[in-house]
Each structure stands twice: as structure tokens, then as C-alpha cells.
């Protein structure tokens, strides 16, 4: 197996860099409604729930399609599958510009969402170019493509203000087509696929690819990703609207401030992958969850005014975050989410080297569903509670559940499987020195 990685460094570097850029473009398209959705909401007079459904629809498609695309990438190779994914999404993104009713926009949005499936294809493709000990760093670099959300938030408002939201859809569609062509000519098929073809071996069946999904461990990783990725997508879609409504900013200012979160939650993912390789992903996950809980606790507190009846008169107090403090805390939250995203995907090629596509697909599917479900819940919570910070209250509960499940599992590992380990020492599950051991709770 080691011989598979003795490939040209030029081909390996091209595969990683081209796939990362392609994923960046795909993610920019996937997040397009974060900006144009605000204008569409205004033009069509949509309710909060209708708006949430519109911005979440591409996320739903991009999530549900991930398992299928992951299996196809394992079977037929990531290179052709990624090109087909980009071209398919480009078609619907172009057609979006001609949608004139809300139902038409929802249908077009379903097709736009195909771009979101590019993630699992890229993960499957890149994982087969690198050995396990370097997989975390390589996949972390690839995951930096999430910065496409910031590309949309920086660029789309200016295009939209100058030419209208339909031009944003057309420009983003053309960018996908150009990237698909460039990717095809810059990259090569993964070494494993070439060797399999040379030996005349058949790809595994769908049933074989789905076999790891019976393990609870896979679903535990999926819950982690539901928060670190699903909440990231949900917030990336929701923040421009939040800035406009809560802090009364215009869409260009809101887009730029929201982009800082997307940058933090994307650009530092490579560092998370490196730390996972060197320190163990368990430590990175603990750090991610603990810092996220602190940030979300602060963000959850609604702006409040209260009066203390003092000796010489009333004393007025105000508790709340101005948009600068809010942006700083959101940036820190995004930073640690990026570490967590890399840590989750560090596990997959280590534990499931022969089923990277299907396992990455289901983890990505569940995480992506978070990006669809959470904006909907944000909108419904606003309608129900009339409190803007209710979205952060929901995320606080979610990350608390993830941390508790992870810690309970770690404690059980220590007590039942590895009693000889000292308390606090990194466990084999996430220790690169013990990559052949696993625990499926």
C-alpha cells in the first residue's frame, strides 16, 4: 500500500491545490443565497421562515447527495465525479437568474446545492494521494476551501449592488464551468484507481461501501460534524441577515463582517489538521467544544436594559454586545470550528481507508443537514420567541450534547477497553501512534 504514495510530487501537489481551489469555487456557489437571498426576501416580501427555507434548500441538496457522490468517487475516481458535480451545479446556478417566482427559485436552489456535494468528492480524492500520517494536514488544507463562503460575502454584494442579484448567479455559474475545465486538465486520477485498473480489479459494491455505517462510531463523528460544519454553514447563511436586522448595517457592511466568520472557520482548517496529526484529534475536539460553549454562552445573552432603584435615584444598566465585540466573539467561534472540522475528518482515512467515500459521505451528509436544518430553526425560533439571540441558544445546547457524548465515550474507553492508560493521556482512538485500534461506542 505504501507504494501507492510514491507518486510524482508535482502530481500530488497539483491534485491538492486544484481540488482546494475547485472546492472554494463550489462553496462560493453553495453559499450564494447568503447574499442574494437578502435582496430576494425584500423583493418578494418573504417571511422569516420562507427566507430560511430558501437559503437552506441548496444546503439540503448538497447534504443528501454527499453519500451517493462519496460512493461514486470511491468507485469511479474523484476526478470525473468532481467535474460532473461542478458542471451540473453551474447549469442550475445559471437558470436561477431566470427564476421569477418563489417555487421556481426553490427548484433552482435544489440544483445549485449540487455544488455542496463537492466536499466529499474532494475528501475521497485527496485522501488517496496521501499516507495516513499526513492525511490530517492535507485534508485540512483542502478544507480551507470553505473560505468560498467569504468570497461570496466579499464579492457578491458589490456585483449585486452594481448589476443586480441575477448577475451574481450568472458570474458564479461561469466561474464553475471555467474551474471544472481547469481542474480536469490540471489533475490526474488517484494512484489507487490507476493500480486497480491495471490489475483489473472491480470496485467494491454499494453494500460493501455502506458496511461501516453500522458502527455507532461513525454516527458519533457525524454529530460532531453536525455542529462544527452544520452550525458553520447555518451561521454563514444567517449572519448577513442578523447584522442587517440587529445592527442596522447595509448589505455590503453585513457581508464583509459576516465574511470574517467564514474566513476564521475556513482559513485555519489546515492548522487544525496539523494539530490533529501532531497532538491527536481528541485534544483538538475537546478544545473546540469547550471554547465554543464559552463563546455561545456569551452570544446567547439577549441585549437587556434594567433599572436599579438606588438611594439617590434610579440607575440604568444595559447588557449587550456592540457589533465589534459580537464580530470578535463570532470570529473566535469560527476559528475553533475550523479546528474541529479538520479533527473530525482526520479519523476517516485512519479508521476506514477502504471506505473513505461512504464514511466521509455520511458524516458530511449529517453535517450538511445541520446547515439546512439550523437556519430553518433559527427563523422559526425568531418567530416563536421574538429574541434574535435564540439561534445561539440553540447552538449552545447542541455543542453541549456533543461534548457530553464525547466525554462519556472517552471515560468508557478508559474504564472498559484500556484500563492501563493513565487518566488524561491521549487515547488510541485519536492517537496517530495507535491508528489500528478503534472503539465503536
Question: Strands, E, within 5-52: which ranges?
Answer: none
The total of other beta-carbon atoms located within 10 Å of residue 42's CB is 12
The CA angle 75-78-83, to the nearest 5 degrees, is 125
pLDDT of residue 260: 80
CB 343 within 8 A of CB 284: yes
pLDDT band for position 426 (50/70/90)? very low
pLDDT band for position 169 (50/70/90)? very high
| Rounded mean pLDDT, 210-219 | 72
pLDDT band for position 207 (50/70/90)? low
pLDDT band for position 176 (50/70/90)? very high
What is the enclosing helix (H) or strand (E) of 237? Answer: helix 232-247
* Model pLDDT for residues 244-267, shown as the tens digit of each residue: 888 888 877 887 787 788 778 777
pLDDT of 11 above 90 = no
pLDDT of residue 353: 67
Distance, CA of 355 to CA of 337 (rounded, Å): 25
CB 114 within 8 A of CB 92: yes
More confident: 167 or 430: 167
Alpha-carbon distances of 279 from 208, 292, 362, rounded to whole Å: 32, 20, 26
Distance, CA of 409 to CA of 430 (rounded, Å): 12
* Model pLDDT for residues 404-423, shown as the tens digit of each residue: 988 888 788 777 665 555 55
pLDDT of residue 440: 40
* Model pLDDT for residues 292-348, shown as the tens digit of each residue: 999 999 998 887 777 777 777 777 877 777 888 898 999 999 999 989 988 887 777
Share of the chain above pLDDT 90, in %: 22
pLDDT of 146 above 70 = yes
pLDDT of residue 208: 61
- Cell numbers 472557520 correspond to 265
Q: Among 7-11, 147-151, 353-357, 435-439, where is mean pLDDT lowest?
A: 435-439
Domains observed in the chain = 2-193+205-306+314-434 (1.20.1250.20)
| Rounded mean pLDDT, 68-92 | 90
pLDDT of 374 above 50 = yes
Alpha-carbon distances of 371 from 196, 229, 358, 405, rounded to whole Å: 36, 7, 20, 21
Residue 275 C-alpha cell reads as 494539530
Q: Among 203-217, 221-235, 250-264, where is mean pLDDT lowest?
A: 203-217
| Rounded mean pLDDT, 391-402 | 93
Distance, CA of 414 to CA of 422 (rounded, Å): 8
Amino acid at each position: 500500500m505504501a507504494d501507492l504514495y510514491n507518486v510524482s510530487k508535482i502530481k500530488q501537489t497539483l491534485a491538492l491545490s486544484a481540488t482546494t481551489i475547485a472546492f472554494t469555487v463550489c462553496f462560493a456557489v453553495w453559499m450564494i443565497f447568503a447574499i442574494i437571498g437578502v435582496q430576494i426576501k425584500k423583493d418578494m416580501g418573504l417571511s422569516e421562515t420562507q427566507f430560511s427555507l430558501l437559503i437552506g434548500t441548496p444546503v439540503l441538496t448538497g447534504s443528501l447527495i454527499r453519500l451517493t457522490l462519496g460512493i461514486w468517487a470511491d468507485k469511479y475516481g474523484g476526478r470525473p465525479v468532481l467535474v460532473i458535480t461542478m458542471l451540473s451545479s453551474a447549469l442550475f446556478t445559471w437558470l436561477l437568474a431566470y427564476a421569477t417566482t418563489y417555487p421556481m427559485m426553490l427548484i433552482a436552489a435544489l440544483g445549485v446545492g449540487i455544488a455542496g456535494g463537492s466536499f466529499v468528492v474532494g475528501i475521497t480524492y485527496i485522501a488517496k494521494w496521501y499516507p495516513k500520517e499526513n492525511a490530517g494536514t492535507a485534508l485540512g488544507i483542502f478544507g480551507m476551501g470553505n473560505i468560498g463562503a467569504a468570497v461570496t460575502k466579499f464579492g457578491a454584494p458589490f456585483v449585486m449592488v452594481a448589476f443586480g442579484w441575477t448577475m451574481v448567479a450568472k458570474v458564479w455559474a461561469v466561474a464553475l464551468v471555467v474551474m471544472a475545465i481547469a481542474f480536469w486538465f490540471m489533475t490526474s486520477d488517484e494512484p489507487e484507481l490507476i493500480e486497480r485498473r491495471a490489475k483489473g480489479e472491480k470496485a467494491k459494491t454499494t453494500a460493501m461501501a455502506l458496511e461501516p455505517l453500522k458502527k455507532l462510531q461513525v454516527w458519533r463523528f457525524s454529530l460532531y460534524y453536525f455542529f462544527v460544519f452544520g452550525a458553520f454553514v447555518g451561521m454563514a447563511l444567517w449572519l448577513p441577515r442578523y447584522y442587517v436586522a440587529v445592527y442596522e448595517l447595509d448589505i455590503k457592511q453585513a457581508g464583509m463582517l459576516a465574511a470574517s466568520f467564514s474566513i476564521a472557520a475556513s482559513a485555519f482548517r489546515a492548522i487544525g489538521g496539523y494539530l490533529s496529526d501532531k497532538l491527536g484529534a481528541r485534544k483538538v475536539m475537546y478544545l473546540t467544544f469547550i471554547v465554543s460553549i464559552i463563546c455561545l454562552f456569551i452570544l446567547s445573552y439577549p441585549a437587556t436594559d434594567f433599572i436599579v432603584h438606588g438611594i439617590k435615584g434610579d440607575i440604568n444598566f444595559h447588557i449587550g454586545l456592540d457589533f465589534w465585540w459580537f464580530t470578535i466573539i463570532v470570529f473566535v467561534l469560527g476559528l475553533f470550528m475550523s479546528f474541529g472540522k479538520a479533527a473530525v475528518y482526520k479519523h476517516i482515512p485512519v479508521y476506514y481507508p477502504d471506505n473513505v467515500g461512504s464514511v466521509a459521505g455520511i458524516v458530511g451528509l449529517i453535517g450538511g443537514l445541520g446547515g439546512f436544518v439550523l437556519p430553518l430553526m433559527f427563523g422559526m425560533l425568531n418567530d416563536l420567541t421574538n429574541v434574535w439571540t435564540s439561534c445561539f441558544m440553540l447552538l449552545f445546547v447542541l455543542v453541549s450534547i456533543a461534548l457530553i457524548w464525547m466525554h462519556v465515550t472517552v471515560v468508557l474507553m478508559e474504564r472498559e477497553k484500556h484500563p492501563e492508560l493513565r487518566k488524561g493521556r491521549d487515547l488510541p482512538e485519536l492517537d496517530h501512534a495507535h491508528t489500528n485500534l478503534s472503539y465503536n461506542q
